[in-house]
Chain A
């Protein structure tokens, strides 16, 4: 298995633009998590899905952020409009049924908003 796949790996955009981050979880995993990591705030859980259904989105910072999981093999995190304070590394992770704690992380997307 190729592991969790994220794209793009790097994204540089200007303030106000829409940004879409993509994730393909490991096949057979039914949990999918989106995290944001910054030096100041560490690793923060934004939202997670179980069987494609959003379970907890309390970590989503504001309405500019949205996430979808249309099927078991694909999820997106969208920021519209983007702001400089959104600059961070965004990780996607997935895990096996009943083992939400043992997560496999993707390589991350480094987002820079100018």
Chain B
């Protein structure tokens, strides 16, 4: 069964700290790994990673994928209170149906940034 596991489940830090969120996966027919941020409403897309060792960056957020060890990390530097959210990791995989893919989500990491 396809599985995506995130750690920690919950994290509380002070503004300005750097945090690292972890995501490991066991998926058949891997295509890509994605990170989403969910504040009060719907998840919003952050990154898509398909190749090992290539870091994706967007401002203070960065992410990297290791396809050999089957994990990814999401780093946030100089955290701000606005970074408080649930961060979801998901893996896209091919299904048995040609041309169709599916997305398997982890349970999320609830990040709280205190001022």
Contact = CB atoms under 8 A, between A and B. Distances in A.
A50 B100 contact: yes
B105 interface: yes
A48 B102 CA distance: 8
Contacts of B105: 42-45
Sorting the interface of chain B by its residue count into under 10, 10 to 19, 20 to 34 or 35 or more gives 20 to 34
Nearest to A105: B42
Contact of B99 (A50, A56, A103): A50
Sorting the interface of chain A by its residue count into under 10, 10 to 19, 20 to 34 or 35 or more gives 10 to 19
B73 interface: no
A110 B100 CA distance: 29
Contacts of A100: 92, 100-103
6 contacts: A55-B97, A55-B100, A56-B95, A91-B43, A101-B90, A106-B42
Given A50-B100, A101-B103, 10 more contacts: A42-B108, A45-B102, A45-B104, A45-B105, A55-B100, A100-B92, A100-B102, A102-B34, A105-B42, A108-B42
